[in-house]
Structure 1
Amino acid sequence: MNKEEIQRQYSPRQWSHRMSADDVVNAHVKVITAGTERARGLAQTLLNVPYGEGDGEKLDVYIPSTTSLDVPLVICIHGGYWQFLSKEEFGFMAVPLIHKGVVLVAVDYDIAPKGNMDLMVSQVRKSVVSVIQQYSHISGLYLCGHSAGAHLAAMILSTDWSQYNVTPQIKGAFLVSGIYDILPILSTTVNEPLKMTEEVAVRNSPSNLVPQLKISSSSCHIVVAVAQHDSPEFRKQSEQYCKALEAAGLNVTMEDVPNTDHFDVIEKMIDGDYRLTKLLLKMMGKD
């Protein structure tokens, strides 16, 4: 592929079947912001809880009103190509989850240009450590990430936890419309604020780290989801990453979601009857 085609393939807004490139992004921000406001009206919340020393190292907790001891917790990592959006728009998934007694934690990290790729990966890993230290009584820890957030969630799965003095028992991961080999990004405008070198991209590409995944196939179920109207390259990335996980003997399911694009494939997780929401609830035994 020439540079123009790579740029087009890695511009999700160009592939929506519903609306124009600019409209689909504006609509996405509007929908998930409104959804997060709705979630904050429904749940008990702890907002801007620090998980580290940095200004960007904060998380929001959405707590169901339940007396049950069987409380699973989902850590959500927002997308936005590592340079856009925040936890402020990513609490919307709490809407169907809190009704089922599930805690949702939306994580912030320092997006570019303030943050670089190594820092962002380090921050989301640190957020997991903080969550399991603060919520040691949870019945299961699950990850969910969209787009760049799916990349960061996959990097969490690839963590060598020995340096953190904890080993999170991650029971499931939902990776939605993610990028798992970030080398192609180097030749696109996406990399302008990120300023990644090839070396940085290689060490932060989950596809290169599958051999060192420390999770066991029996305890963690990974769902790799992709939208029907994601670009061919995004779709290929999900398929190849799924195959690599499968080849490594991990418990992985590929979900090709019909009639969705890169944006509404995650937006629809505000709906309890949506295919991916039902799959997540079933994974947690909350269907």
Structure 2
Amino acid sequence: MPVIPIDSLDDPRVESYRNLKLKNLQRGGPYFIAEGKKVVERLLESDFETHSVFISRKRLEEWEGKVPADVPLYVADQSVMSALVGFDFHVGVVGCGVRRPSAPLEELLPRDAQRLTVVACPNCDNPENMGAIVRIGAAFGIDALLLGKGCCDPFGRRVIRVSMGATFSLPIFETDYLLEDLRRLKQDWNFQIAATVLDTDSELLETARRPARFGVVMGNEDAGLDQAWTEFCDRKLTIPMCRGTDSLNVAVASGIILHHFTRASADL
């Protein structure tokens, strides 16, 4: 498809990009936004459908050969583009991808796999934390991220930006019935599920070992995990801390925990 000039903020072809600072695309809608050079490149390389790419005119020579012929490539002056997206968009590259429903657990987690690792978040409602957990989960090779209905949109613009496009490669399973789905993993997949808590009576991470099929439940940044979750899980884990530190950012904690449990020496 040829390059398509955009001269007006009212052009309906770029409606998805309009005023991104003040809005997110609807979670139930058909599209999501990828922002920045590296993230848009990763969208194009992924198996998600790219609806369109929108660039500033100064980026045309660089991007004209990168965008497939069947993907609309919109081009505008930098001033028009910044006014459209709602902020001074100096990186000059943004893309629109097509959402798709979560694949069923049976597709994400093969029953015959010898080793499986999942992270579950019942109520991670902070986009920066969510994006960091996605990126960390992808880096440490987890098999899926399971998100409950209390979580923010994993395909929100800020989440995708913080994840640096890892959202496109990490299997993400969104569910309104996270507790029931984890129970299925325990019963049908033989998973062991661990809760992460701030409790000195819990198992210390530094000496903890894992079975072949293992899941970690991470709590909310402010409230952690409620009693129903800790009672459901098979074990409770805590990260030892010094100097009176009573908690860590949930994304930082997930990185520490996943680094420990994805090492071969952490296996039973």
Which is richer in helix? 1
The alignment's TM-score, normalised by the length of structure 2, stands at 0.32
The alignment's TM-score, normalised by the length of structure 1, stands at 0.30
Rg: which structure is higher? Answer: 2
